[in-house]
Amino acid sequence: MELRHLRYFHVLADELHFGRAAARLHISQPPLTAHIKDLEREVGARLFDRTTRRVALTGAGEVFADRVGELLERLDDAVLEARDHAEGRRGRIRVGFVSSASGTVLPPGLRIFREIHPHVRVDLSPLTTREQLDALAAGALDIGLIRSGGAEPGLVVEPLFSEPMVAVLPVEHPLASHAGVRVDDLVDERLILFPNDLMPAYVAQIWAMFASVGAEPVVVQEAIHHETVAGLVSAGVGISILPASVSRFRPADVVIRPIEGAPTTALLIARPEESSNPAVEGFVECLRAAQRVDE
C-alpha cells in the first residue's frame, strides 16, 4: 500500500468530489480515479459510493477515513519532529560543568537556550575537569565547561573567559585586613586545593605560582567543588586559591583578596570534534551570548 494512495484517499474523503480533490492534489481526475480503485482493491472493500451526481463514503470508507486521518496526522508529526531534531530544535543535550560555571555563564546561557529551544531537554552534570574530559571521550557528554587545560585529542576546546586567581580567607585571618596579598604572603599557609588528578592544569598553575617565589604549597585538605572549598575556609580548615568568580557564592565569613601577579584561569568550552547532536552549536552560541552580556 503506497503512502500517496492514502493521501489521495484522505483528500477525496474530505472533498467528496473528484474534480476538487484532483485540483488540491495537483493531478488530473483520471489518475485519481485509478489510484482510488487500486486502493479499494488492496483494502478489499469499496470505500466510496460513486454516481454521476454525488460521491459518498461507504461504511467501510468512513471507518477507513478515521484511521487514515489519524495515521497521516501522526506521520506529519513524526516528520516535523525528525526535522526539528535534525535542526537542533528537539532532542537532548548533556552538559558537564565545573562548579564555578554555575555562578557565571551557565545559568544565563541555559535561560537563553531554553527561550530559543524550549523542546530540547538539557541534562546538567556537575563534574571536575578530568571527569568531563573522560565523559566527553566516552561519548557520555555533549559539552563540557572545564577549567584551564591543554588540547585533548578528538575535542574542540575554546576559551569562554579568563579571570584572575584570588586568595580565599576566613574573615578573621590576618591577611583579611589587607587590600591585596602577595604570593610570598601565602607561603606556609595551610591550603585547601582541588585534587590534582581531577583538576591537573589548575593545580599546576598554583604550584607554578609558589615555585616563582621558591616555595611549595602546604596542602592540608583537598576538595572538589568551589562551594565545598569555601565552606572549609569558613570553618577555619585553611585558606584557598580560587577563580575570582568564587565571590558570587562565598559565605559571609569568608573574604576574597586579589593576589599580586597571580595567573589567570580560563573557563573553556570542550566538545567532540565530530558531534552528531545538532543542538550542541546552539547551546555553545547561547553560552557565548551570556558571556558577552556579562562583559
CATH of domain 92-159+266-294: 3.40.190.10
CATH of domain 161-265: 3.40.190.290
Half-sphere exposure of 149 (CA within 13 A, CB side): 26
Q: What is the pLDDT of residue 88?
A: 62
* Amino acid identity at 230: A
Q: How many CB atoms lie within 10 A of CB 280?
A: 20
The yes-or-no answer to whether 92-159+266-294 and 161-265 have a common fold is: yes
C-alpha cell at 264: 589567570
Q: Which residue shows C-alpha cell 482510488?
A: 36
Among 239, 183, 244, 194, CA closest to 216: 183
* Amino acid identity at 28: S
Question: What span, in angstroms and rounded, lies between the C-alpha atoms of 220 and 197?
Answer: 16
The one-digit pLDDT tens for each residue of the chain (295 residues) are 788 888 888 998 888 989 899 999 999 999 999 989 988 898 899 999 888 788 999 989 889 998 998 888 888 877 776 776 666 666 889 999 998 898 899 999 999 999 998 989 999 999 999 999 999 999 999 999 998 766 678 899 999 999 999 999 999 999 999 999 999 999 999 999 999 999 898 999 999 999 999 999 999 999 988 889 999 999 999 999 999 988 887 788 999 999 998 999 999 999 998 877 888 989 999 999 998 876 6
The structural domains of the chain, with segments of one domain joined by +, span 3-86, 92-159+266-294, 161-265
Burial of 103 from C-beta contacts in 10 A (0-12 / 13-18 / 19+): middle
Q: Which residue shows C-alpha cell 598553575?
A: 205
CATH of domain 3-86: 1.10.10.10
Asked if residues 237 and 220 have their Cβ atoms less than 8 Å apart, the reply is: yes
Q: What is the pLDDT of residue 251?
A: 84
3-state secondary structure 208-233: HHHHCCCCCCEEEEECCCHHHHHHHH
Q: What is the pLDDT of residue 84?
A: 65
Helices 18-25 + 29-43 axis angle, to 10: 100
Q: What is the pLDDT of residue 288?
A: 93
Asked if residues 156 and 271 have their Cβ atoms less than 8 Å apart, the reply is: yes
